[in-house]
Amino acid sequence: MSNDKVRITADLAETVTSIPLPVAAQKLFLALVCMQEKTPQRWVREGWNARAATQVFCRLDDLRALGCAPKAGNSRFFKHAVGALQGRPDLFRRIALSTEAPGYLVWSFSPSIWEAMSQMEPYGLMDVGDIARISGRLDLMLLTRIVVQRNKFKPTVVLTGAELGLRAADAAHPEIFALRDLRRRLEPALQKWARHTGSPFVVGYEQRAHVPGHVRASIRFPGPKSVWTPDTIATFPINTDVVAITP
């Protein structure tokens, strides 16, 4: 990993898709994924169990330097973010502001995160500076999934309404979501990343095969290795509502 990139594995991206976090906690989580690589207990492919049981620490100022927190000297941001992450044992065994040494944070990731990061293929490299751009509830999920897909031949991110944090329009059909709700939740977040990356997105809101009802959003975008053409990237199954998101 270079000084300005962090490896995001496909398994990690899948793991965080189903975990809603406030913005501050999203930023701190990604910053600590980055900082873990700088500790003696860096991410490894095998033999990670002992490392997962080992606590590590860093200065709050080092986290601020990554852009995950305001540069002001108070720790209000960290208290909020740490409080949210302490309620997620699926992410951390332990995370806390140090009471013995003010200005430090201590943590150990959960076994499920170590397992996800040990599956090093496939992966994507995320710009550390993107941590500072997280500002909405979907950003951690979108950013990690986009990073992993970026270098594939047909970059595609598929998300259900449930993964977008929506409730089904009809409890009898929990897989179906209102198209207007899908669009309102997803498109503003995608617009932000389109402006930042300079890359367009094409979203296909796909319906069930046998009866009407929108079930997922299939997000396609060009990448350095993609084989999408202007025609193929916008070609979806019949009855799909297609929307282009431009920078």
Residues 9 and 114 in one domain: yes
Residues 156 and 89 in one domain: no
Residues 105 and 170 in one domain: no
Residue with tokens 């998101």: 245
Contact 165, 217 (CB under 8 A): no
Distance CA 197, CA 247 (A): 8
Question: Of 69, 102, 118, which residue is a domain's last?
Answer: 118
DSSP line for 192-236: HHHHHH---EEEEEEE-SSS--EEEEEEE---TT----TTGGG--
* CATH (domain of 62): 1.10.10.10
- What are the tokens at 31? 């910053």
Distance CA 78, CA 43 (A): 23
Q: Model-level pTM greater than 0.85? A: yes
Tell me, yes or no, whether 172 lies in a domain.
yes
Q: Is 76 helix (H, G, I), strand (E, B) or coil?
A: helix
Residues 109 and 157 in one domain: no
Tell me, yes or no, whether 123 lies in a domain.
no
Tell me, yes or no, whether 145 lies in a domain.
no
Residues 172 and 105 in one domain: no
Tell me, yes or no, whether 124 lies in a domain.
no
Residues 63 and 162 in one domain: no
- What are the tokens at 52? 């997962």
According to the model, what pLDDT value does residue 1 have?
Answer: 41
Tell me, yes or no, whether 128 lies in a domain.
no
Question: Of 62, 94, 118, which residue is a domain's last?
Answer: 118
According to the model, what pLDDT value does residue 2 have?
Answer: 41
Residues 11 and 114 in one domain: yes
Tell me, yes or no, whether 143 lies in a domain.
no
Q: Each residue of 20-76: pLDDT tens digit?
A: 899 999 999 999 999 999 999 999 988 898 888 899 999 999 999 988 888 777 788
According to the model, what pLDDT value does residue 70 have?
Answer: 85
Tell me, yes or no, whether 204 lies in a domain.
yes
Residues 12 and 112 in one domain: yes
User: Before 188, cis peptide (omega within 30)?
Assistant: no
Question: Of 78, 99, 118, which residue is a domain's last?
Answer: 118
Q: What number is the average pLDDT over the span 153-167? A: 94
According to the model, what pLDDT value does residue 230 have?
Answer: 95
Residues 161 and 110 in one domain: no
Tell me, yes or no, whether 129 lies in a domain.
no
For the chain, the domain total comes to: 2
Residues 161 and 93 in one domain: no
% of the chain residues with pLDDT over 70:
99
Full residue range of the structural domain in which residue 221 is found:
150-245
Q: Each residue of 168-177: pLDDT tens digit?
A: 878 888 899 9
According to the model, what pLDDT value does residue 182 have?
Answer: 96
Q: What number is the average pLDDT over the span 111-125? A: 93
134-139 contacts, C-beta under 8 A, 24 or more apart? 134/23, 134/26, 134/27, 134/30, 135/23, 135/192, 136/23, 136/188, 136/189, 136/192, 137/20, 137/22, 137/23, 137/165, 138/164, 138/165, 138/185, 138/186, 138/189, 139/23, 139/26, 139/189, 139/192
Between strands 214-220 and 156-160, the pairing is antiparallel
